[in-house]
Structure 1
Amino acid sequence: MFKSAKESQVTITELMLPAHSNFSGKIHGGYILNLMDQIAFACASKHSRHYCVTASVNRVDFLNPIDVGELVTLKASVNYTGRTSMVIGVRVESENIQTGEKKHCNSSYFTMVAKDENGNNVPVPGLILDNEQSVRRFSRSIARQEQAKHRTTKFKSSEFKVADHLDSLKAHNVKIEL
């Protein structure tokens, strides 16, 4: 079975309240991450028709702060489908209600896994790639997976050699006292 990404896209918009802010009046990044996880869950569950869990989150860079009183819109779409997992692309934008100015705040990729009622992984419908953007997103997800597979093990504690790294640390804001 195959489904289009359009069938499971989810968009939510929420007004940012003072309760969501830190001491500087900006919205807590953790609150935004929580919303991102919720929308990724909703999108993945809608696509798979199963309960889904978050397996990983690929890099979250907060590009622009969000102020109290702004509207935040989160958009989620299935970018990739494996056998039991999906990569959900999540985009976050804020909008100043008075000026109408919109800012891209962050984008991230959530890997979600579909589960049955016993907690076992279950197959998910494949993805219909029906435009260039969907092919680009799917291909990008494959490339990210390949990069993750080929990550070096040189920083694994059993493989790490301190002497190999001491020189490179001299250019950084660090004092070494070994």
Structure 2
Amino acid sequence: MEEREEKFCKESLVVKTSRIFPIDTNNHNSLFGGKLMSYIDDVASISASRHSRSDVVTASTDSVDFLMPIRPTDSVCLESYVSHTGRSSMEVFVKVIAENLKTGERKLAATSFLTFVALDEHGKPTLIPKVVPQSPEETMLFNTADERVKIRKDRREHSKAFASVVNTNAPWS
């Protein structure tokens, strides 16, 4: 059995807080979903790099659940950390908190799970440390990860089968 380094979830913690400007909003006067998804991928990739101390690539965005709108009167705070690991892959959890800057009220606005793969200097998957949860939230995510891993693998197989029949020719050809 190989011996692997262990790291706590909190060692990969990334926190990013931003204001919401008019250029960031959609026609519903809330933060544009694509902008939030970009923030999510950004912080998650830093968490994955902190955990693995290597280059990483996004293997999948498993979910982004938008729970409530984020308004221009809010700031948006993203917190991410590695919640589960395989040999070279990392599940990263991201929670998005909207804070009304006038009242101080904070609400969970979105959650997301992404998977990253650590790469060596040749661009090949490389072994990473195991992750060790400590807080109740980290422990809950760690203990429920096997179910998400199975769903992720099933979805990937479905995507491969789907891709084999998708027409990639230009629609006008």
Per the TM superposition, whether the score is higher than 0.5 is yes
Q: In structure 1, how many angstroms separate the alpha carbons of the residues matched to 2:89 and 2:160? A: 26
Unaligned runs of 5+ in 2: 163-173
Tell me whether 73-82 or 20-29 shows the greater mean CA deviation: 20-29
Q: In structure 2, how many angstroms separate the alpha carbons of the residues matched to 1:155 and 1:18? A: 37
> Does residue 70 of structure 1 match 2:74?
yes
- What residue identity is the alignment partner of 2:58? T
Deviation for aligned residue 1:34: 0.2
Distance change (3 Å), C-alpha of 1:154 and 1:6: closer
Residue 146 of structure 2 aligns with which residue? 142
> Does residue 125 of structure 1 match 2:129?
yes
Residue 85 of structure 1 aligns with which residue? 89
> Does residue 25 of structure 1 match 2:33?
no
Identical-residue share of aligned pairs (%): 36
Residue 167 of structure 1 aligns with which residue? none
Is the strand fraction higher in 1 or 2?
2
Residue 56 of structure 1 aligns with which residue? 60
Kindly provide the CA deviation profile for residues 88-126 of structure 1, in whole angstroms up to 9, marking residues without a partner as x.
Answer: 000001111111121211111110111123211111111
Deviation for aligned residue 1:23: 2.4
Residue 96 of structure 1 aligns with which residue? 100
TM-align CA RMSD: 2.2
Q: In structure 2, how many angstroms separate the alpha carbons of the residues matched to 1:68 and 1:54? A: 29
- What residue identity is the alignment partner of 1:120? K
TM-score (norm 1): 0.80
Q: In structure 1, how many angstroms separate the alpha carbons of the residues matched to 2:38 and 2:138? A: 26
Q: In structure 2, how many angstroms separate the alpha carbons of the residues matched to 1:9 and 1:156? A: 32
